[in-house]
Amino acid sequence: MNKLKEKFKINIKTIIQRIIFLFIGAAIAAFSLECFLIPNKIVDGGIIGISMMTAYKTNFPLGLIIVVFNLPFILMALKKLGKQFVFYTFIATIFLAVATVFVPEVLNHRALHNPFLACVFGGVILGIGVGTILRNHGSTDGTEMVAVTFSKKTPFSVGEIIMFFNLFIFFAAGIVYKSWESALYSVLTYYITYKVIDIVLEGLNESKSIFIISDEAEKVGKAIMSAMDTSVTYIDAEGGYSGRKKRIIYCVISRLEITKIKSLTKDIDPTAFIAIENVHEVEGIRIKKKHF
């Protein structure tokens, strides 16, 4: 019973924490839209971009249009992505809609009227806001939900469908605003935004996974554990040509540790095979060398 209560408390704490960060992310995104992008006729990709152009042409409140346009996609995601994702996405969408109303009032309608600076700083700030929302299991854009559905019925991947969808939006921006500069600035803003989203989701201290195939696997593994603040995992394998049994060393390190681990390995086995990959997210307990 006590374990059940403790688990319930943890779940409630997690939900409240995520909702708070969804609010913060939505406020940051709304700040970018209202103070940088909209005054300079620059649009974001996806549903938000369509909402921005619709609000420009109809004079309806942007927040209301974002909710109306996203609602069908949120309901579509219910079966495919689960109730939890839909709940957080709905909350984030409402927060963004409300924030687009109050942010201009709080800032007394102050805006930056410089397309280039708005493109750069608006993209960075929007990326921070959207990245914060995504990091807390929410979303404010139904584009990916549509792409997932269409990718199963067409030969195109999710990424290709999103790219086509956004190219259409940026082309439409040039027509709606009667300026191809707006379309080009929108493309650049979109690129900046998604680069910043990657940083928010992955962190500046990007992790790397490293595989080392060596005939001196135990020596290399012990050297890594002795010299670096990390542990290793040994994976049994077999050579494709030779048929010999081999051991693969696997570990996750920071980007700054790559040179050191390569040097340690080559000092012991100059013929060792090393493969390095990006790791987008790391969870769990990292065993330190002091435990050995």
Q: In the prediction, which pLDDT does 290 show?
A: 47
Would the pLDDT of 270 be above 80? yes
Is 291 a residue whose pLDDT tops 50? no
Q: Which of 26-35, 184-193, 239-248 has the lowest mean pLDDT?
A: 239-248
* CA 77 to mean position of chain CA atoms: 18
Summarize pLDDT for 98-128 with one digit per residue, the tens: 998 888 777 766 677 888 898 999 999 999 9
**Cβ neighbours of residue 28 closer than 8 Å, sequence gap 6 or more:** 125, 126, 128, 129, 132
Give the pLDDT confidence score for residue 1 in this predicted structure. Answer: 57
Residues 200-236 pLDDT 10s = 876 655 678 899 998 888 999 998 888 877 888 899 8
* Predicted local confidence at residue 14, as pLDDT: 83
What pLDDT score does 8 carry? 52
For domain 207-291, is the CATH number 3.30.70.120? yes
pTM, two decimal places: 0.71
List the single range of 24-33, 58-67, 148-157 with lowest mean pLDDT: 148-157
57-66, 136-145, 146-155, 261-270, range with the lowest pLDDT: 146-155
Closest CA to 91 of 199, 15, 38, 7: 15
pLDDT at residue number 292: 40
User: For the chain, where do the domains classified as CATH 3.30.70.120 start and end?
Assistant: 207-291
Q: Which residues lie closer than 8 Å to 32 by C-beta, 6 or more apart?
A: 122, 123, 125, 126, 129
Q: Residue 198: what pLDDT?
A: 77
Indicate the burial class of 145 (C-beta count within 10 angstroms; 0-12, 13-18, 19 or more). buried
Give the mean model confidence (pLDDT) for residues 135-158.
Answer: 71
Q: For residue 35, count other CB atoms closer than 10 A to its CB.
A: 21
